[in-house]
Structure 1
């Protein structure tokens, strides 16, 4: 749609305007051009009346031809070149039509390329000299008359070329503004899409972990009919606490969604976990009944840059969540090592599931967690590998560069 409108504007401003419906501005310009052409024709006819060599019949014919030339300006937008060439030839022997010829010459300069304007303008300059010899002005010498005709033709051509260049500049600026507006819209769309993807990853990372813990504890209550009241109360307390935390984190993520400027700035508006919080994450899984072995080989977890530490935290979190979903009851081994020179390496490994047939049902998964993790690792400048372990089970391994 934008290109069509630009093309229509170009056609109206640079050469095909006559095919479109005339606007109020077009009518005003046409009336002004007709008035100017008639005024020049009347001045030329008045000068011819003082020439004793011009008979009354010739003067009458000149005036009729001049009026017809002015009326022919009505088609100047549709046939600018043909009209200009005809009026150049007519004005050579009929001075009262010179005004209409100058208007037609101006129209060619406005609506046609420079090459066409140069050819038509050259013919007009030549005919101006010929007209000074064929129909001399009784009050001017040949040289003055020829120079005056040449200057008037050059003025019409120069003015027309100026108008054309100005229209082309305005059209170019308009198209550039439209293109910039479209590009700004695309950038805004892309920023919104990235923000939505960031929020979706955050919701998956946080809520999937919390909800999987809830499922594990609820499943334990369902299949442990012989549990003591103390164990039931403790498990119910853990479920309530996990549900409260999940609700709080969901509220915070939705708050980010309602404040796009904060999300666009890369600040989700709440404290983000780092590598130092990895021990608490593993302890939560252990309290849910999972057997997790943490091998933390980083000398100072607090010194790890936030982006790298948070990415490793999310990888471990997703690995523990997947282990609870797909291999409940299996021991999970988490190994984290690295240094500023080598970067951070994290590996989450679990054997095949050892759950009996009458145990709690597996937690369903959407299958998007590992895709989101791979994107998160790539954004941090690292990489992620996952797949079946040669010894059985599943392995999740990632490398993240040690940089802020």
Structure 2
């Protein structure tokens, strides 16, 4: 749209100003013969002027072109219109040094042209057509000359037109240049302000992450270390009871794995990289234990607690899965199994996982719903149902954050998650979208 407007304005300027330049040829005596009509040289100059004025269409991209051509016309016979247009656009669009040079050169040429026209014979003054009304008052004829008042008016009009044209070109040019500069400064200031605000927000978030990481490390790390030490002592101290020793071993293994996860979590919180998507990497096992290849170990650790897990794992293209998918699937299954152990202890848990690059990852974790009448009763160690009844403390500690975390992880990767009773079974179902296959190198 701007290009169309520029072309239309240029065309209007050409239509208006070309006749003015033809009239300015009166200030060039060699263009007329003795009878006051254009000679061959004058016709050639008139054609050249009409061609030169097409440079006005280049005023935006190359303002030096109309300025130089206008300088030639102003030097030849005092026609400064094209020069003023080129000078205006140079002042607005060019660097400061070029604008100053164009201002000095253009002002000198305009003043010299005005002085030249002022000293010419009234017959050769372009403004003479406003004062010479008699037919015999034409260039080249020495008869009737205009009155002194007409000559004075002619000269004053010449001076006023030149000064007004120069003032308009310089005044509006520098005014528009200053306006553009102020807008650029304002835009720069707004960008800097936005940048400072972003940096302040980043610093604030970094400070919050460091505080959170420090609190996580100082509290959970200590407690997990104590659990690991006590379970290790229980494992080595009570050799007479293999079941107690195996349970203590499983507890110590989980405590160590939790410490590794905590270190990874603290590092991710400090660096702010927990939610960052990683590009697919070939033959990759994530730096922590949360990976698709670690799922069998996770299932074994849950089974070591006495929970019956019925797994069905069909996994393809695992080496092409991105790191963030490894971690998300592992955490979803971990949370789903934890949810089943908390709310339905002693009941079997069915776990089905299918993973491929073309179909994505589909997870279904289900367990029978416990009897509401016995769900919160106190456990009886001598009874086989005691494990089921011992869910009071764990179930009461739940706040729904685990299921919401599953939904958030699925949503972050463009997947979907649903959870809730289906008949006599509680089902958590999660789907992740397909991922590209990593080409072998």
Q: Which residue of 2 aligns with 1:105?
A: none
When residues 332 and 264 of structure 1 are mapped into structure 2, their CA distance, relative to the original with a 3 A threshold, is: closer
| Conserved 8 A contact 2:363-2:429 | yes
From 163, 174, 183, the equivalent of 2:185 is 174
Aligned to 2:341: 324
1:385 to 415, 418, 431: 418
> Greater CA deviation, 152-161 or 289-298?
152-161
1:352 counterpart residue number: 369
Change (3 A) 1:367 1:182: farther
Matches within 5 A, 1:233-244: 233-244=245-256
Residue in 1 that maps onto 2:434: 402
Considering fraction of residues, name the structure with more helix: 1
1:371 pairs with one of 378, 383, 404: 404
Distance 1:347 1:379, change over 3 A: same
How many residues end up aligned between the 2 structures?
249
Corresponding position: 1:248 with 2:265: no
Find the partner of 2:164 among 150, 153, 157: 153
Q: Deviations over 1:191-219 (max 9, x none)?
A: 997997xx99xx9xxx9xx98xx89x99x
Q: Distance in 1 between matches of 2:177 and 2:289?
A: 56
* Conservation of the 8 A alpha-carbon contact between 1:348 and 1:395: yes
- Distance change >3 Å, CA 157–CA 300, structure 1 → 2: closer
8 Å contact from structure 1 (residues 308, 403) kept in 2? no
Shift of 1:187: 6.4
Which residue is 1:73 aligned to?
A: none
SS in 1 for 2:428: strand
Greater relative contact order structure (CA < 8 Å, 6+ sep): 1
Cα distance between partner residues in 2 of 1:179 and 1:267? 33
TM-score by length of 2: 0.46
Give CA-to-partner distance per residue, 1:180-199, whole Å, 9 cap, x none.
Answer: 34555676659997997xx9
Q: What SS class does the counterpart of residue 371 from structure 1 fall into? A: helix
Structure-2 separation of matches of 1:300 and 1:378: 22
Asked if 1 retains the 8 angstrom alpha-carbon contact of 2:353 and 2:362, the reply is yes
Once residues 327 and 259 of structure 2 are traced to their aligned partners in structure 1, the CA distance between those partners, rounded to angstroms, is 21
| Structure 1 residues 143-168: Cα deviation after superposition (integer angstroms, max 9, x where no partner) | 33332223223333333212321222
> Is residue 2:346 matched to residue 1:335?
no
How much does 1:330 deviate?
A: 1.7
- What is the CA deviation profile of residues 64-83 of structure 1, one whole-angstrom value per residue up to 9, with x for unaligned ones? xxxxxxxxxxxxxxxxxxxx
2: CA distance, partners of 1:184 / 1:370: 37
**For residues 186 and 324 of structure 1, do their structure 2 counterparts lie closer, same or farther at Cα, with a shift above 3 Å needed?**
farther
CA contact (8 A) 2:239 2:245 kept: no
TM-score if structure 1 supplies the norm length? 0.50
| Structure 1 Cα separation of the partners of residues 175 and 315 of structure 2 | 71
8 A contact 2:344–2:370 mirrored in 1: yes
Distance 1:348 1:280 in 2: 17
Q: Is the 8 A contact 2:417 2:430 kept in 1?
A: yes
Q: Which residue is equivalent to 2:307? A: 290
Q: Please give the secondary structure, in 2, of the residue aligned with 1:403.
A: coil
Deviations 1:287-307 (A, max 9, x none): 122111101133565565554
Encode CA deviations 1:215-251: one digit per residue, 9 max, x unaligned: 9x99xx9xxxx99655444434433333333233222
Q: Equivalents in 1 of 2:260, 2:172: separation in Å? A: 69
Q: Secondary structure at the match of 2:362?
A: strand
* Deviation of 1:270 (Å): 3.2
Unpaired runs of 5+ residues, structure 1, are 1-128
The answer to whether the 8 A contact 1:290-1:330 is kept is yes
Note the aligned Cα RMSD (angstroms).
4.4
Q: 5+ residue gaps in structure 2?
A: 1-126, 132-147, 280-285, 380-389, 437-441
Contact 2:278 2:324 in 1 (8 A): no
Q: Is the 8 A contact 1:308 1:401 kept in 2?
A: no
Residues 284 and 182 (structure 1), Cα distance of their counterparts in 2 relative to 1, 3 Å cut: farther
The separation in 2 between residues aligned to 1:191 and 1:263, in whole angstroms, is 17
2:393 corresponds in structure 1 to 362
Instruction: Choose 1 or 2 for highest CA Rg.
Output: 2
Residues 1:299 and 1:170: Cα distance change in structure 2 (over 3 Å):
closer
Instruction: Assess, with a 3 A threshold, how the Cα gap between structure 1 residues 178 and 369 changes in structure 2: closer, same or farther.
Output: farther
Take 1:267 and 1:320, find their aligned partners in 2: how far apart are those partners? 26
1:291-331 per-position Cα deviation (integer Å, ceiling 9, x unaligned): 11101133565565554444332221111011122222221
User: C-alpha displacement at 1:281, in angstroms?
Assistant: 0.9
* In 1: Cα distance, 2:204 partner to 2:336 partner: 29
